[in-house]
Amino acid sequence: MPRPVLWIPAVLYGSVLLGGVYYAVIGPGLGARTAGYTALLGALIALDRREWPRMPPGAVSVLRVVLLCAVAVLDESGLSRVLFVLVPFLAFFAYGSTVAIGLGIGCVTALAGVFTLRVPHWQTRAEYIGDLLMFGLGVVLALAMAAVAVREQQARARLEGTLAQVAELSAARERNRLAREIHDSLGHHLTAIGIQLEKAEAFASLDPPGSAQAVSHARWSANRALEEVRASVRTLGPESEAEPAGLSRALADLVHHLDGGSRRVTLKMTGVERRPLLVLYRAAQEGLTNACRHSGASEIGVSVVYDEHGAHLQVVDNGTGFDAADEGFGLSGLRERVRLAEGTVAIDSSPDGTALTVGVPW
């Protein structure tokens, strides 16, 4: 529910109080009537300065009208009639425009009725016609101010809701980005470490140099994972800020530290690299990780082609393939990465192997 603009009733109450007291000082003088008039205005100010949750709906409005009528009876200056514009003004916030307009019409009609009862032939006297017209104009202005205030509060509430949704979406997007980084970077390196340590354990007695080389490759993967974690913590910014210094060199390091044992990994580069592309580096990590962890492949080929339109990466293995319906978080995250780079992803999997193809424009 919109909240009323509390300073407007306070200004009107204060103005009418000062005007009534001034009229009493220069006219009939201060007395019990002025004291009661002041006390009732104070009660009205207290009524509108706080909420009354325990009172039945509408009771505050009825009490306000009763107090206003009492003030009008004690008012010798006639200034208090302006306070009745607060009836439709405050009702606009509590009950809506229809009720407020009805109350406004009722207040104007009631003032005309009072004139009819107290002032004979008031319809022919300019001062009373002017008073009625000015009161009606005050009601219209009060309703207009209430409508503007309500629309402003509703617009602010919608804006706050939109900002909350934007913040939630931004947080979700950042969580997804960090999840992709953890999966693609740490997931790949942990897979590589596990593979190399298994190789080291298997060849410890049969081929000590090969076992030592596998441990060295595992150590490199661990150091590389630590470097990428530190880089992510330092930047926490756009992915372009964390791109590798050179895709060719980064891919060569990945292939070198995975190659060996029962698995052969090759790399082929064609064309001239224009700039590093993190999305292709992550795509290569995802393809190599899946091929090493799930496919049981003995041959894995990584190829990159640069042309005038962009860069194209392909990771091919001779493993057992997988069902496209079983696509996990890694491939879903890769598709999102490539979509943001305005590229394309194609996956061709069969029992004879899998081919992951990613194209990214310059």
Q: What is the 3-state secondary structure (H, E, C) of the chain?
A: CCCCCCHHHHHHHHHHHHHHHHHHHHCCCCCHHHHHHHHHHHHHHHHHCCCCCCCCCCHHHHHHHHHHHHHHHHCCCCHHHHHHHHHHHHHHHHHCHHHHHHHHHHHHHHHHHHHHHHCCCHHHCHHHHHHHHHHHHHHHHHHHHHHHHHHHHHHHHHHHHHHHHHHHHHHHHHHHHHHHHHHHHHHHHHHHHHHHHHHHHHCCCCCHHHHHHHHHHHHHHHHHHHHHHHHHHHHCCCHHHHCCCCHHHHHHHHHHHHCECCEEEEEEEECCCCCCCHHHHHHHHHHHHHHHHHHCCCEEEEEEEECCCEEEEEEEECCCCCCHHHCCHHHHHHHHHHHHCCCEEEEEEECCEEEEEEEEEC
Weakly modelled stretches of the chain, pLDDT under 70:
1, 57, 180-185, 229-245, 259-262, 276, 324-325
**Residue 1: what pLDDT?**
65
**Residue 27: what pLDDT?**
81
pTM of the predicted model, to two decimals? 0.53
Give the span between the Cα atoms of 199 and 315, in whole angstroms: 23
Tokens for 233, please give them. 């913590």
**Contact between 192 and 292 (Cβ < 8 Å):** yes
**Residue 280: what pLDDT?**
87
**Residue 236: what pLDDT?**
46
**Residue 262: what pLDDT?**
67
**Residue 85: what pLDDT?**
92
Give the span between the Cα atoms of 251 and 260, in whole angstroms: 16
**Residue 233: what pLDDT?**
54
**Residue 224: what pLDDT?**
75
**Residue 242: what pLDDT?**
47
DSSP β-ladder status, 264-270 and 299-306: parallel
| Dihedrals phi, psi of 28, to nearest 5 degrees | -70, -15
310-317 sheet: strands from edge to edge? 264-270, 299-306, 310-317, 353-361, 344-350
